[in-house]
Amino acid sequence: MKKSSLAFLVGAIVVAGGGVWTTTHQTAEQPKTANGAGVQGPTTVSVIAPVRQDVPVVLQANGTVTPISTVDLHPQTTSTIAKVHIKEGQFVKSGELMFTLDDRSERANVDKAQAQVARDQAALADYERQYKRSMELLSKNFIAQGAVDTLKSQVDSARALLQSDVAAARSVGVDASYTAIRAPMNGRVGAINVYPGSLVQLATSLTTITQLDPITVSFTLPESALAGLLQAQHEGAVPVKVALGNSDKEISGALSFIDNTVDPVAGVIRVKAQFDNKDTMLWPGQYVNTKLISQVLKDAMVIPQNAIISNTRGTFIYAVDADQSAKVVNIKRLYAFGESAAVSGLSGNEKVIVDGKQNLRPGGKVRIAGADKATDATKQKG
C-alpha cells in the first residue's frame, strides 16, 4: 500500500514539471497567427537597377585557315622533264616559268606545219595570178568562160586549204606550248615530285601552288545567328578577328561568304572570312579562334546574370514591389556576355533582386539590405 502511494506521488511530480517546461518554452517561440501558423519575417535582399545600353552581340567559334585557291599542276602531254626552274617552298608569280619539258618533237611539228602554210600560200598566189590573167583574156574573147570558172574554183580551193593548214599550225603551236609549264597564279610552291629526266604523263602530279595572300578562315555558326549575319552583311562589311592558339595577337579581316544552306543535322551554317596575309601569319590548315559582331542590340536592358531564374515555369526575375514584397517579372534572355545579360520584358524602373532570391516566394515580404542604415543616417543628419 505504501509503495503504490509513493509511485503515484512521483508520477504527479513528473507531469507537473513537464507542464511547467512547456509553458515557459512556448513563450520563447515565434508568434502565432490566428490559425496557429508561424509568422515569417521579411527576407533581406540586395537589389540593382537595370542598365540601358547598346550591347554588341559577339559570336565566337573555332575556325580553320583555308586557301582561296590551290592548284595541283599536271602536264598536258607525255614527255620527259628537261629542266626544273623553281624550288620547293618558293613563292612564284603568275606566268613564271616552272618546268620545261622535252620539246624537240613539238618544235619539229611546228616547223612542219609552218612549211605547209608557206606552201599553201605560194599555191594560192599562183592560182590567183592565173585567175587574174584569165579574166583579161576573157575580156578579149581569147578563152572560154568555162576555163575562167575552173581557175576560180582552184583559187577558192587553195584559199580553203590555206585556212585549214593555218588552223592546224595553231593547234601544233598550242601543243608545243604545253612543254613550258608556267605558274597559273601567285602562290607558294609545295613539294616537287619530279626531277630532270623524269617521264611524266597526264596523271603525274608535278607540284602544288597555294595562294596565301589573301587567305580565308572557314568556321561554323549556329543557325540562330543567320538573320543577324545577313542583316549586318547587307549594311556593309562585317569585321572578323582571329587569334592563333599560341598568341594573343588578333588579325583583322572581313566576312566574305555565307553558305546557301544550313546543316539540318548540326543546326549550323558555314561561313568564311577573308584576311590580308602579306606577313603569312595565317597558314593553311591552322586552327584559330574567330570572333565577330553580328549585330548591336540598341538600348537593351542589362542585368546581372545571377539575378535570372530559369525553371519549369520559364525565365524570370524577382523585383521589389511597391509594398516591399517580391513580385515575379517574366523576361527573355536576349544575349549573355560575361556576368551580365541583355533581356527583354523590363521597363527599367524595377528594383531587381540579386542576392537573397533563393529564399523568396512570390508575394513574400522583403527588406533591402542597407536600407535601415541609410534611414538611420538620414535621421541623424536631420
pLDDT per residue of the chain (382 residues) written in tens, 0 to 9? 444 444 444 444 444 444 444 434 443 344 444 444 455 578 889 999 999 999 999 999 999 999 999 999 999 999 999 999 999 999 999 999 999 999 999 999 999 999 999 999 999 999 999 999 988 888 888 888 888 889 899 999 999 999 999 999 999 999 999 999 999 999 999 999 999 999 999 999 999 999 999 999 999 999 988 988 998 888 888 999 999 877 778 899 999 999 999 999 999 999 999 999 998 899 999 999 999 988 888 999 999 999 999 988 899 999 999 888 999 999 999 999 889 999 999 988 999 999 888 878 888 888 888 654 444 433 444 4
**What is d(CA 95, CA 177) in angstroms, rounded to the nearest whole number?**
13
**104-175 placed in CATH 1.10.3210:** no
Residue 61, Cβ density class (10 Å: 0-12 exposed, 13-18 middle, ≥19 buried): middle
Cβ atoms within 10 Å, residue 173: 14
Task: Give ranges for CATH 2.40.50.100 in the chain.
Answer: 72-102+179-210
CATH number listed for the domain at residues 43-54+300-375? 2.40.420.20
**Is 1.20.1080.10 the CATH number for 72-102+179-210?**
no
Within the chain, which residue ranges are assigned CATH 2.40.420.20?
43-54+300-375
Residues 6+ apart with CB under 8 A from 257: 216, 271, 272
In the chain, CATH 1.10.287 covers 104-175
Provide φ and ψ at 177, rounded to 5°: -70, -20
The 3 state secondary structure assigned to 294-347 is EEEEEEEEEEEHHHCEEECCEEEEEEECCCCEEEEEECEEEEEECCEEEEECCC
Q: Which residues share a beta bridge with 296? A: 56
Q: In which residue are the cell numbers 533563393 written?
A: 358
Residue 235, class by beta-carbon neighbours within 10 Å (0-12 exposed, 13-18 middle, 19+ buried)? exposed
CB 283 within 8 A of CB 217: no
The fold of the 58-68+213-297 domain, in CATH, is Elongation Factor Tu (Ef-tu); domain 3 (2.40.30)
Residues 6+ apart with CB under 8 A from 35: none
What cell numbers appear for 287 in the block?
A: 586552327
Burial track 113-145 (b if 16+ CB lie within 10 A, e otherwise)? beebbeebeebbeebeebbeebeeeeeeeebee
CB 326 within 8 Å of CB 366: yes
Neighbours of 63 (CB within 10 A): 22
